A and B are shown apart, each in its own frame.
Chain A
């Protein structure tokens, strides 16, 4: 027995010693690897990002795509040798969070879009990601500056952090018409065009007519199934449905009035009571489908499929709703409708300039010069053209006015076979930022004339509110963010509940002052103040 025990003990001791030795050796090997990185400046970079979930066009097969060959040439010319690590996009969220939090063994360039601003700024504080401004000054050939300063001047406004530094590069997008005019698309009320024609009804031009039309849809059994089930899909709990803007209301609890450089809240705006009175009417007439309030997309899709949705709030150029409808149908986008005498109805626009996604250079990047060179390639016009439009004659062509128009190269499956795709389909949003010079001309060719007409009419329409308010606010500092988060948690819930109940008539408009007191108590005024500061800072950044 004793011998056995001794043997066991000595074996365990041996295991322990072996364990320590192997652990040490693996550690030293790693260090050696890092050391060798510092000495070489071969343009070698490791990049980490999500892969697209497209089943046919896959980044792994990139070599067979002509557009990749062109991009590869640009990268080669810059002397870059890139190694990609692409993680399935559904998994990327978790992977990037654990890897950045652990702060070890990081790639050189990383897509950190899944991290919110606070997390990213904390990483910056810990030195996990690098401040880009001095690097750009030192190493850039001027491409980055040109894009950020001249082509997309608003980009800096939303990506400059409160300490004045810039920690990430972004996707940049602008859509223009006739080469110069910014071209926003709108979020508006869509109404069934084929039902209007079937029941011989005119297109409504005021809010009251709109309500009457929806009533007539029900009475006239527009979908012909013998039931009064034609509905309006609209969520009165939030203000981002387009009807709210008919009453001059902002698009969220706090919203940006871009033209007047002011932060407003629908709760303080003139048309708010009339808006709820109108909602109550819609509910009373049975037009507004109350089962869809606060519902998920799936439920709305269900009603849509069953041919019951007579009207809904969506993009004016959306073409993805029609194919859902059983038996087919057409949606006509409406212009903002007059609802109250002294209020000009506003439009809700998606800004023609978008800045989104984050791409950072990490502390483990030794060859920062190469990293900046990479972004110099990205922010070049050639790359932007390859990314959004692809190759002339293959994926796009010029129309008689010289505007770029995509060539229809078939379904994704066919595109994967022929290799005729634009860059964004193959590598956009991975570790390759999307720099897009889109135009409205092509959009207009791909929608029916009645949608195109609406778009051209909305281009110059004022007043308007935007659907992405945060695009016009600078990044908040720690205190501002903490206050905002704290206020929004309770305020959003209360506001949504209150708005829903007022619309459903479960709460009376007579107790208005009481609601306002409660909203103020929950911090509405402070939130507006913070957002106003952020908007002011946004406008002050050049």
Chain B
């Protein structure tokens, strides 16, 4: 092994300073490109409103003004939306994990008849959806339209998650399961008392994926929740942004006046809300980073 390495040295000498410099510069440039939009939003949200309206802010904040944050914090609607998001995220994450585990386990039981077909059956809706109107009709007929369930329940089962969990479950040694059966455990006992405790990494991965996904989602709310008291935070952000992008050319004099007044008050507000809605989720990243990496690697190795 060692001699083989010596005979085939890398073409780039290890410890080459020039290559290091090039690689580091590239990494830094990519970092800056990725981070700049975040930075831009933050400095826009705290600069003085005139400079923001004039689009003068690029590298450092110009002036200092926290009025937009004050407006947001005082807005009862925002707090409604915040608490709704917390409900959606908590319920969504718990149910997602539960469904993924319950869905994945039977698929790892070797003597389940027609297992292959069930997997195929599960894969189909991963690629094809019913479309907006049929889904809307379904939600409406189930009586979930304009209720919190319309956002929580359809998102509960994710085939992708089931497959991730199944892949993880198959790595658990068969002997462990058999010994549990010999000790008289039922399938439910095996799942919840033996398999789950050693599957924490995958549960964590799914929980984080769900939290991030649900935190950032707004489309379901847009379609199914006309009642603004049920809106999540991202929907609140969506509304502020849409409100601002009115095409003035199509309006009459009277309506133009109102639109201009509205637009000005919300130019900076948009940035402040983006910061406010994104920060919590950004802060969770460092803590869960190791799970993210694990999640990315899952399924990349085949036995």
Binding site for B on A (CB under 8 A): 1, 4, 26-27, 51, 53, 85, 87-91, 94-95, 98-99, 101-102, 104-105, 173, 185, 240, 297-299, 301-302, 305-306, 315, 317-320, 324, 326, 350, 354, 438, 468
Contact = CB atoms under 8 A, between A and B. Distances in A.
Contacts of A468: 252
A468 B50 CA distance: 33
Given A53-B243, A305-B53, A306-B54, A88 B228 contact: yes
Interface stretch (B86-94, B254-262, B275-283): B254-262
B249 interface: yes
Interface stretch (B9-17, B131-139, B194-202, B289-297): B131-139
A302 B252 contact: no
A302 B222 CA distance: 31
B253 A297 contact: no
A51 B231 CA distance: 15
B226 A317 contact: no
Given A91-B226, A94-B223, A98-B223, A320 B257 contact: yes
Nearest to A26: B143
A156 to B, nearest CB: 20
Interface string B211-251: 00000000000110011100100010011001100011100
B54 A297 contact: no
B133 A320 contact: no
Contacts of B137: 102, 104
A26 B141 contact: yes
A94 B145 CA distance: 14
B54 A185 contact: no
Given A95-B222, A185-B253, A318-B253, 8 more contacts: A26-B142, A53-B243, A88-B231, A89-B243, A99-B136, A105-B145, A306-B56, A468-B252
A98 B133 CA distance: 6
B89 to A, nearest CB: 21
Given A4-B187, A90-B242, A91-B222, A354 B262 contact: no
Given A91-B226, A240-B249, A317-B253, A302 B55 contact: yes
Contacts of A94: 222-223
A317 B257 CA distance: 10
Given A318-B253, A350-B252, A305 B50 contact: yes
Contacts of A318: 253, 256-257
A53 B133 CA distance: 27
Contacts of B254: 438
B186 interface: yes
Contacts of B239: 53, 88, 90-91
Main secondary structure of the interface of B (DSSP, over half): helix
A241 to B, nearest CB: 11
A302 B263 CA distance: 13
B179 interface: no
Given A85-B226, A90-B238, A320-B261, A315 B143 contact: no
Contacts of A105: 140, 145
A320 B54 contact: no
A320 B252 contact: no
Given A240-B249, A315-B256, A87 B226 contact: yes
The 3 A-B pairs of least Cβ separation, nearest first, read A87-B226, A90-B239, A90-B242
Nearest to B258: A54
Contacts of A301: 53
Nearest to A308: B54
B67 to A, nearest CB: 14
A90 B256 contact: no
Interface in B97-117: 111
Given A53-B243, A90-B239, A104-B140, A98 B132 contact: yes
A320 B111 CA distance: 74
Nearest to A50: B226
Contacts of A185: 253
Nearest to A315: B253
A118 B56 CA distance: 43
Contacts of A438: 254
A468 B256 CA distance: 14
Contacts of B111: 1
A1 B110 CA distance: 12
25 contacts: A1-B111, A26-B141, A85-B226, A87-B227, A88-B228, A88-B231, A90-B238, A91-B222, A98-B133, A98-B223, A99-B136, A102-B140, A185-B253, A297-B247, A297-B248, A299-B55, A301-B53, A302-B53, A305-B50, A305-B53, A315-B256, A317-B253, A320-B257, A350-B253, A354-B252
A216 B50 CA distance: 28
Contacts of B247: 297
Nearest to B143: A26
B239 to A, nearest CB: 4
Contact of A53 (B238, B256, B262): B262
